Each structure stands twice: as C-alpha cells, then as structure tokens.
C-alpha cells in the first residue's frame, strides 16, 4: 500500500513526467475517467474508489481519492498492459484515442 499526496505536474514533449490526477469525460459522455501516470481509471457507484479501465482484461490496478478528487492511496499500481494513447489539445482537454 502506497500513500501519495497530490503532486503538481509538468508536460514535456506530451509525456507525463510527474504524477498527477486529472479527470476527463468518457467517450460516451456519461461520466468521467481519472488519469494517473498515463493510465485511465473508472468508478462505479462509489466516486472515491477507482479501478483500471482495463479491468475486463484482468488488470488489478486501483486507487482511492478523497471526496474532493485528490489522490489518497494507490492500492495496486501494477498494470498488465501499456497505457492508453491520450491526446491533449492546445486548450488542455484530454482525449483517449
């Protein structure tokens, strides 16, 4: 179990270089995905417990946030897949390709 504070971020050549928590709308527009270390996470009813959006292929990565949306705890950090391709527009919006 790793306890992590919310950290500031920078981007260099489009890559994440410092851990941060960001949110983006889902492709269907019915919710949000959490982005952490370049991986995306989803949630069900509980809006503080997030699981890797590739849970269906067996990825066990998950984390928890505070009610305000800040990272509280990385419960499991290992993924069994590469991070998804994310695109950031000039106005700061992030899209999953």
- Which domains, and CATH codes, for the chain? 22-89 (2.20.25.240)
> What band does 47 get if pLDDT is binned at 50, 70 and 90?
confident
Asked whether the predicted pLDDT for residue 46 surpasses 90, the reply is no
Token code pair at residue 26:
């889902």
Q: Rounded to 5, what percent of the chain is helix, strand, coil?
A: 5, 40, 55
Spatial separation of the C-alpha atoms in residues 68 and 79, rounded to whole Å:
25
pLDDT of residue 7 exceeding 90: no
Considering the chain, what is the average pLDDT of its residues? 78
- pLDDT value of residue 19: 59
* Count of H-run helices and E-run strands, the chain: 0, 11
pLDDT above 90: residue 52: yes
CB 38 within 8 A of CB 24: no
For the stretch 16-37, what's the b/e string if a residue is b when 16 or more beta carbons lie within 10 angstroms of its beta carbon? beebbbbebeeeeeeebbbbbe
79: left (phi over 0), alpha (psi -120 to 50) or beta: beta
Six token digits for residue 62: 């998950």
Q: What is the pTM of this model?
A: 0.74
């Amino acid at each position: 179990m790793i306890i992590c504070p919310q950290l500031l971020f920078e981007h260099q050549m489009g890559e994440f270089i410092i851990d941060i928590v960001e949110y983006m709308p889902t492709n269907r527009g019915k919710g949000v995905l959490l982005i952490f270390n370049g991986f995306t996470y989803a949630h069900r009813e509980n809006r503080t417990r997030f699981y890797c959006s590739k849970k269906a292929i067996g990825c066990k990565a998950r984390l928890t946030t505070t009610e305000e949306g800040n990272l509280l705890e990385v419960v499991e950090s290992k993924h069994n897949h590469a991070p998804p391709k994310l695109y950031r527009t000039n106005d700061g919006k992030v899209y999953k390709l």
